[in-house]
Chain A
């Protein structure tokens, strides 16, 4: 019986090794999971803990700088949805200094300290020219979009270098997203977001964006610049530059309309 048992055990061991080999081969042959690729790319863009950054938007039309806005963005992920909630303080230009915007999904508020008034905005209202309100806040795309792997491509990145990328097609899975669908190229080796194209529901290209100038910030290499090119007029270009990454405690009570009149950046 022990022999039989041994033989049976040996056979079972062979079967296990074989199964493991087959599984490994199948895993190697199977396409990578698109949602995981997207989530890994989110982790490159966003620290997964509360933080603040300074975002500077420089807008060009026909090669000339036409606008410049600086914002301090405080972001924290919601416990239930995992999506980021953001409080945005306008730093420049001087006329807008210390105005605030709060974005918590579709819950969007604007506060002007001069008039002391807190106004609820609809998602359609834009405050920042070419950049949609959803562009300046921190977004975990994997929470809001369903990703599908469309293939692998070599594309030119923001530094004009070729990168081997997964091309993902993202379809909106949440009702309050800024874009209906997105094409996104993510570096296969590093999970870095390289390039994205944003579309309206009707299929119109709204804008293209390049993520570039990756630098060490809050524990890993993150993009410090996004170059946005208008879908209709490619001579309309916005450079979004990220700096002053700081990990910080952001109480939940900050992220509501009633807190805006009390907000103090310190």
Chain B
């Protein structure tokens, strides 16, 4: 009788073991049917993306406007030839009607990159041409992304990833040396034109190369968990700016970051309005952390500070003095990708394979802590083998003189289909 209770347990274990063996056999039989195919790598990637949308327009002529867009993109590099290779990236957006977005043109080609690289051994390299140089560890606002001013020619989404992807590189010469765990890069970007050019197929050198600029960037891994970066940027017209990037793994699920830039220079108001005042020390920074749940949901919170931006009283004074200058200030900060208010917070969430396989959900909210306006954006994207189908939603909220309340649109819906070649 003492063995009585053990018998069912043993039988249950035996049954469970047999079921497991059966399922393993089934899995192995299924694996036997897998065709012997190996995909071959290609250095080039092409896509076509038709989209339709609905924009709620603000103002006296407000209402809803149907929008249409076709985007075509190419990116890739040639094979290496005598340590040389060429890289190229371009995007063409045809969208309308322009009034719905307040855009400069409805038919815009963005020559993102076109440069020649020379790999002088495994540790040294040099590049010459238009290069999209990105620095910064933050997600929503990157004060050490020193080549961002004027780089956006066509906006198809306010998602920060899209803004970084769809922008002009700067013409420059760049050299880089790598060592085990670190690197140093030096680059010089010359002044090539004074004004930007709205023509559809203009390379628009004036948008990116409107002044001489130089940058030295040093990066070093500190142990397994910390990476440090230091940058020195000089545009010739103001004292050099110092930048720092730190990113650290706190635990298995959390990455913390700090991106800081500081130096003497004009305020953004002075730059926007062209007024003359003495340079003062300003600092800009973004800091926060990304956390990934066990369900693979990524959450990022970021605090953003721009010491050269106006505070509440500064904005009120400028609006009271000149509404036109006030508008000019906001246009300048948008073009320079700076914060118009001194403080903001940014929250991002992303979930791959949400609820069903191949469905990715993502979204962000940006809150201007100075004028209390806010922007929300969300996307649901479903992947097929060569096709992405996505629906995007954006809403801009705030009073009519605020950063997001003054935007030409109050909300945007967009459905797009991206086909990869």
Contacts of B221 in A (CB 8 A): 107, 256-257
A93-B385, A124-B294 are known contacts. Are A116 and B132 too (CB-CB below 8 A)?
A: yes
Q: Are A129 and B165 in contact (CB under 8 A)?
A: no
Residues of A near B132 (CB, < 8 A) are 116
Q: Are A265 and B41 in contact (CB under 8 A)?
A: yes
Q: In the complex, what residue of chain B is closest to A227 when comparing beta carbons?
A: B31
Interface size of A in residues (CB-CB distance below 8 Å): 66
Interface hit among B231-239, B250-258, B322-330, B367-375 = B250-258
CB <8 Å contact, A56 and B39: yes
Is A173 part of the binding interface, using a Cβ–Cβ cutoff of 8 Å? no
Given A66-B357, A227-B31, answer yes or no on A124-B161 (Cβ-Cβ < 8 Å). Answer: no
How many A-B residue contacts, CB cutoff 8 Å? Answer: 176
Shortest Cβ gap from B167 to chain A (Å): 9
User: Which residues of chain A are within 8 angstroms of B36 by Cβ–Cβ distance?
Assistant: 241
A229 touches B24 (CB 8 A): yes
CB of B282 closer than 8 Å to a CB of A: no
Interface residue count for B (Cβ, 8 Å)?
77
Closest Cβ of chain A to B400, distance in Å, is 33
| Chain A residues, Cβ within 8 Å of B224 | 104-107, 176
Q: In the complex, are the beta carbons of B227 and A124 less than 8 A apart? A: no
Q: Is B196 part of the contact surface with A, judged by Cβ < 8 Å? A: no
Contact A244 B38, CB 8 Å, known A93-B385, A125-B292, A256-B183: yes
Chain A residues with CB under 8 A of B385:
68, 93-94
Contact status of A106 and B30, CB under 8 A, knowing A56-B39, A97-B45, A253-B178: no
What's the Cα separation between A129 and B28 when bound, in Å? 20
B164–A115 CB distance below 8 A? yes
Chain B CB within 8 A of A121 CB: yes
Closest CB-CB distance, A74 to chain B, in whole Å? 12
Q: Is the interface of B mostly helix, strand, loop or mixed?
A: mixed
Query: A114, B252: Cβ atoms under 8 Å?
Result: no
CB of B290 within 8 A of CB of A61, answer no
> Please, which residues of chain A bring their CB within 8 A of the CB of B123?
251, 253
Q: Is the CB of A158 within 8 A of B28?
A: yes
Question: Which residues of chain A (163-197) have a CB below 8 Å from chain B?
Answer: 176
B residues touching A (Cβ–Cβ < 8 Å)? 20-21, 23-28, 30-31, 34, 36-43, 45, 75-77, 79-80, 85, 89, 117, 119, 122-123, 125, 132-134, 137, 161, 164-165, 176, 178-183, 219, 221, 224-225, 227, 247, 249, 251-255, 257, 290-294, 296, 298, 352-353, 357-358, 383, 385-386, 388, 418, 420-421
Q: Name A's B-contacting residues (CB within 8 A).
A: 54, 56, 58, 60-61, 63, 66-68, 70, 72, 89, 91-95, 97-98, 104-107, 113-117, 120-127, 129, 156, 158, 160, 176, 208, 210, 212, 225, 227, 229, 234-235, 237, 239, 241, 243-244, 251-254, 256-259, 262, 264-266
Please give me the 4 A-B residue pairs with the lowest Cβ-Cβ distance, nearest first.
A234-B23, A92-B39, A94-B420, A251-B122
